Chains A and B, each alone.
Chain A
């Protein structure tokens, strides 16, 4: 797969980051579902401790790309892929890479909140228990810390042992974030985390994202461009499985380099 200029004259040069600032590095990544290409020759870098947004129309591959980063596609037998994804310099598909450890380091929050049918405490403790035994006090501390970081502690501290399914949608989503935070990932992938929530919960989630930036690298997939503009530092625009434009959010939204990008952002159909 050759360089991009000849095949796609409208694509901008790739934005790359140095090893110090780069967290995730995606190199010429292809992915196909049972032969049908979903991601085409993707190359981009995700900077550390920043929020990077993937935007684009439905079916453009943003969620697919997200799920490739934590190798969730391994669960699906009909998926084939080529190219490389690196986390902090390590190839995630290398045989020495432990998939479960990868998934601890790269956490994921899904579009519809999916807490387990257990108590709030047990939801957050789930990932911790996988890691091994630890004294209860320490586990309690970590759980409190995680729920606080997810801005949920005050609301649930008195009912940690009630079922998680009794929480509202926004609270459930924050709970999912908390349980992901509890295992202390380096990266947090968020797949349209607020699309199923009401506006107030959405704002809370956005604020949370901003606050978490200092500890983690966040990658956000969203179809809500205003959200991307509000929350992210870098934005990648994908269309039909290809990376169209990638740059600092301000620049992509106020001064996009490609016509295609501008069309999408301003809402024109082509």
Chain B
């Protein structure tokens, strides 16, 4: 069969189009990447005037803010890291695989909740409530881990049937009602304990005995709220690192007689260590940069205090509140941009470090011959 004839092709046009397109894409691509670079350039540029006529005195106005940022981030990390890492360890290594497929996305969705919403609940609901029920709050914070241990102990001495119905691999879910009950118990008990130990009013005792003021919105509230916001970031990355530990390593350890927990502690964690560490670093980066939660839940008082019951003011909050009012070119303007530069450098460095660490980890996993 003879083939039908082909039309004359429009060759030259195609090549021209290709050249133009490649040029445009290159220009666009490089342009975009340069625009991203421009952020750093701008920040540095606008900070330069400080070098000439800035002085230590004006920089001093930033130090309580820097302290506030660190304090808020520390509080958030103290609250978030144990929970997020514990959740990651459980999720990667103890939870049933089917459950993990459902729960992991849910926990990762926590990340999507806007900071405004968390800040609003923290500032308008949590803060007043905690102020009225400080003893309850502290009791709940202490009682939660203990009650988890209690659940474990009860489980071990329970009958085999109970253990079958409520296995450890599903504990992430059925512990929810247990914790809810325990929290209710603690809230009920707290007033009695407060009466017995603190003469009925913990806040008054703190004030009279230790001179500790209690501000409605303070570092404790910020810690809990921002901690909640940061948990999913840490959890997601740490869980990925732990779950990707080559299965043969864990099996090898268990074949030698180690319990699951020992295998986790002695094999998985050291192997995934860099990934876990980088997850925490990224969480810290987020905590340092979060603005709305701090604006709404910290009281915005620039204090140099170490007390968790006092307010604070962070760099990011100050920028958000003061920069619109600052006249461009003025001292405040440059100072605040310097604060933004500090935040930018800190998070950028932390994230780069974390990414480098994670890439090394990926290479290590490949060498160990790993996939699940």
Contacts and interface: CB of A to CB of B under 8 A. Distances in A.
Interface of A: 98, 100-101, 104, 128, 130-134, 138, 141-142, 145, 148-149, 183-184, 215
The 5 nearest A-B residue pairs measured at CB: A131-B9, A132-B10, A134-B7, A141-B4, A142-B4
6 contacts: A132-B9, A134-B7, A138-B7, A141-B4, A149-B3, A183-B6
Contacts of A130: 9, 14
Given A132-B7, A149-B1, 14 more contacts: A98-B11, A98-B15, A100-B14, A131-B6, A132-B8, A132-B10, A134-B7, A138-B4, A138-B7, A141-B4, A145-B1, A148-B1, A183-B6, A215-B3
B8 to A, nearest CB: 7
A184 B3 contact: yes
Given A100-B14, A100-B15, A130-B14, A142 B7 contact: no
Interface string B227-257: 0000000000000000000000000000000
Contacts of A184: 3, 6
Interface of B: 1, 3-4, 6-11, 14-15
A183 B8 CA distance: 12
Q: Among the interface residues A131, A138, A149, A183, which one has the most CB atoms of the partner chain B within 10 A?
A: A131
B246 to A, nearest CB: 28
Given A145-B1, A148-B1, A149-B1, A133 B15 contact: no
Contacts of A142: 3-4, 6
Contacts of B6: 128, 131, 142, 183-184
Contacts of A128: 6
Contacts of B9: 101, 104, 130-132
A148 to B, nearest CB: 7
A208 to B, nearest CB: 14
The dominant DSSP class at the B interface is loop
Contacts of B7: 131-134, 138
A32 to B, nearest CB: 26
A101 B11 contact: yes
A130 B8 CA distance: 11
A90 B264 CA distance: 66
A134 B6 CA distance: 9
Contacts of B11: 98, 100-101
A145 B6 CA distance: 12
A1 B6 CA distance: 42
Nearest to A146: B3
B5 to A, nearest CB: 9
B2 to A, nearest CB: 9
Contacts of A149: 1, 3
A131 B4 CA distance: 14
Nearest to A133: B7
B70 to A, nearest CB: 47
A171 B228 CA distance: 55
A246 B3 CA distance: 32
A145 B4 contact: yes
A101 to B, nearest CB: 6
A100 B13 CA distance: 12
A17 B139 CA distance: 94
A134 to B, nearest CB: 5
Contacts of B15: 98, 100
B18 to A, nearest CB: 9
A183 B11 CA distance: 14
Nearest to B1: A145
Contacts of A148: 1
B20 to A, nearest CB: 15
Contacts of A101: 9, 11
A145 B1 CA distance: 8
Nearest to B13: A132
Contacts of B3: 142, 145, 149, 184, 215
A139 to B, nearest CB: 9
A43 B9 CA distance: 33
A71 to B, nearest CB: 15
A234 B359 CA distance: 50
Nearest to A138: B4
Contacts of B10: 131-132
Nearest to A181: B3
Contacts of B4: 138, 141-142, 145
A127 to B, nearest CB: 10
A128 B9 CA distance: 9
A205 B130 CA distance: 77
A261 B3 CA distance: 39
Q: Among the interface residues B6, B11, B14, which one has the most CB atoms of the partner chain A within 10 A?
A: B6
A46 to B, nearest CB: 21
Contacts of A100: 11, 14-15
Contacts of A133: 7
Contacts of A183: 6
A1 B10 CA distance: 41
Contacts of A138: 4, 7
A109 B123 CA distance: 66
A133 B142 CA distance: 76
A104 B7 CA distance: 13
A84 B11 CA distance: 24
Contacts of B1: 145, 148-149
B256 to A, nearest CB: 39
A137 to B, nearest CB: 10
A98 B18 CA distance: 13
Contacts of A141: 4
